[in-house]
Amino acid sequence: MVIYTIALAIHVIICVALVLVILAQTSKGGLDANLGGAAMNVFGGSGASKFLRQWTQILGIVFIASCIFLAFQVKASNKSSAPKILQEKFGETAKPAAAKSAPAKTTDQAKK
């Protein structure tokens, strides 16, 4: 559970970074245009677009890997916690529905 929590926090950071990098790209009014062209001043004329494009690809790949890792963590945690939840809820290990016997018929039901 601790690994899942840490992985989820890292995933959120990756998501925020990916959104910011995508918005910072210059394409008809991105975040760079809203900040007064700060990326052009820092990276030069075309350096910002190449740099941001590369980081978008890197963060995209890391985002996909993080999604897959979280999916496996959720699947693993569901397998290990299901018996505990059932035991807490029902007081014993859950039995399949087919194993339970039908209620006995009363004499009134037997006459009909």
pLDDT at 19: 94
pLDDT at 59: 95
Mean pLDDT for the chain?
Answer: 74
3-state secondary structure of 37: coil
Sign of CA dihedral 95, 101, 102, 105: negative
pLDDT at 24: 86
pLDDT at 17: 95
What is the DSSP secondary-structure string of 5-34?
HHHHHHHHHHHHHHHHHHHHS-SSS-HHHH
Stretches where the chain sits below pLDDT 50 are none
pLDDT digit string (tens) for 81-107? 555 555 666 665 555 555 556 566 666
Long-range CB contacts (< 8 A, 24+ apart) of 100-106? Answer: none
The domain limits of the chain are 2-94
Please, are residues 32 and 84 in contact by the beta-carbon 8 Å criterion?
A: no
pLDDT at 1: 76
pLDDT at 68: 95
Task: Tell me the whole-structure pTM to 2 decimals.
Answer: 0.55
| Residue whose pair of structure tokens reads 């690994």 in the numeric block | 3
How far, in whole angstroms, is CA 7 from its chain's centroid? Answer: 9
Please, are residues 4 and 73 in contact by the beta-carbon 8 Å criterion?
A: yes
pLDDT at 86: 54
